[in-house]
A and B are shown apart, each in its own frame.
Chain A
C-alpha cells in the first residue's frame, strides 16, 4: 500500500526539528532510517500529517568513546555502529547482538537511536541498553537536554518516556567492565526475524545480570547471584514476565526458552558465533 499524504520537512538543526514537533503536536512524526516507520506508513497504520526527517541534521552523526560509555548519535545507522573499529572491545554485547537485528539490508538504513525510540519489546538494541544500564539523551526545542536511564525509558510496547516535542539525540552504552563477560542468545522463527526470546548476560565474578527480550512488554533486566544454582532463579524469572501465547510461540515455550537458554548462557555453552551459524540453515 501507499502512505496517506503528509507534508515533508527536512530541518537542518535539532532545534528546528523540535520546533516542528512542538508546533504540530500529535500530527507530526520523526523519521530516521524508516525501517520501522515506513512499513507503518505504507500500511496506513499511522497517518501523520507532518513527517520530520532528521537526515539533514549533520551534528547527529557521531560515535564517540568517552570515559565510561560509547555515545551513539541519532544519525548513526546500525551498520555503521557494527563497523565501528573496536566495538567488540568497547561494548562486546553490541557486537554479539547487533547481527541479529533484521538483515544486512535493513541495518544499512535503520538507526541505533530509531530502534531505541521505537521500543519494540523484542528488539535487540533496547535489550542491550536495558541489560547494560545505559542512558538515552533527549533534547527539546529550548535546547535543554535530559538523560534517562534505560529502565525508566522503556515503559511498554512501543511506549517510552520521550515527550512529544523531544528528539533523542544520543544513546549511551556503558563500556565493558574489566573482568566481566558478555553473552547473547536468541531464538527467532528465522534469522533476522524479531526474537521469540532473546537473552543478554553480563557475567561478573559474583553476579550475573540477565536481560530478557521478547517476553514482557519491554526489555527486563534482573540480577542473580553467581554461586547459586540458577535453575530456581531462572524459573522465577520466567514466570514473572507475564508471557503470553501468540502466533509465533506459546507462553510455556517462552518460559522454557528462558530457563534453558538462561542456564546455557550462564554456564557458557557453545559460542554465540556457533549458535548464530547453526541457525542460519
Chain B
C-alpha cells in the first residue's frame, strides 16, 4: 500500500462496535482522526509524545497511545474508547467505582486511564496493589495522587471476581 503525502485516504475501522470511516492524511495521528474526523471527542490529547497517557484507547483490545499511532495504521482494526463504557443502564462498574473512590477531579486524564484499566482487569483478575500502580505508571494525573484510582481498580477486580465462576480461566500475570 502507498499513500502520497498530500492524499486524503479513506480509513475504515470498528469504533466501539460500529463500523466507521473517514478521511486522513498519512501524517494524521489516530487521536486527531478520532476527535476531528469521527467526532469521538471523549479521547483527550495531552502531550502528543507518548508520555501522559491521556490519549490511550484500545486497539484490538490492547491499551495504546493514540498520539503515537497514525490513523492509516488503524485501518481495519477494532478500536474502543471511553465512549464504549457507559451503557443504557448508565455508567459501567469501573466508572462508578472511580466516582465512589474520588478517582478523578478535573477528569482530563480519566478517559485514557479507564481504557488501560479495562484491559488490565481483563488480563489480571486478581491484581496486587503494586501491579495496579505499575499499570497506572503509564498515565499522568495532575489532580488526584492516584490513590483513589488504585482503590477503584482493586474494588472492581474484587466485585468482578466474586461475580465470575470460581474455575475462571483468566490468567494472573503482570505483563
**What sequence of 0s and 1s flags, for each residue 145-174 of chain A, a beta carbon within 8 Å of any chain B beta carbon?**
000000000000000000000000000000
- Chain B residues 1 to 29 lying within 8 A of chain A, measured CB to CB, are 1-6, 25-27, 29
Which single residue of chain B is at the shortest CB-CB distance from A95? B175
Count, chain A residues at interface, CB 8 A: 41
Cα of A82 to Cα of B124 in the assembled complex, Å: 14
- Chain B residues 118 to 175 lying within 8 A of chain A, measured CB to CB, are 120, 130, 133-135, 137-139, 173-175
- A280–B133 CB distance below 8 A: yes
- B64–A108 CB distance below 8 A: yes
- B120–A53 CB distance below 8 A: no
**What sequence of 0s and 1s flags, for each residue 171-193 of chain A, a beta carbon within 8 Å of any chain B beta carbon?**
00000000000000000001110
Which single residue of chain B is at the shortest CB-CB distance from A43? B49
| Residues of chain A having any CB pair with chain B under 8 Å | 1-10, 34-35, 38-39, 41-43, 49, 51, 53, 55-56, 79, 82-83, 99, 102-109, 190-192, 276-277, 280-281
Count, chain B residues at interface, CB 8 A: 39
- Please name all residues of chain B whose beta carbon is closer than 8 Å to the beta carbon of A1 when the two chains form the complex: 48
Cα of A271 to Cα of B116 in the assembled complex, Å: 28
- Please name all residues of chain A whose beta carbon is closer than 8 Å to the beta carbon of B53 when the two chains form the complex: 103, 105
Cα of A83 to Cα of B173 in the assembled complex, Å: 8
Question: Contacts A5-B25, A7-B26 given: A109-B138 contact, CB under 8 Å?
Answer: no
- Please name all residues of chain A whose beta carbon is closer than 8 Å to the beta carbon of B56 when the two chains form the complex: 105
- A104–B27 CB distance below 8 A: no
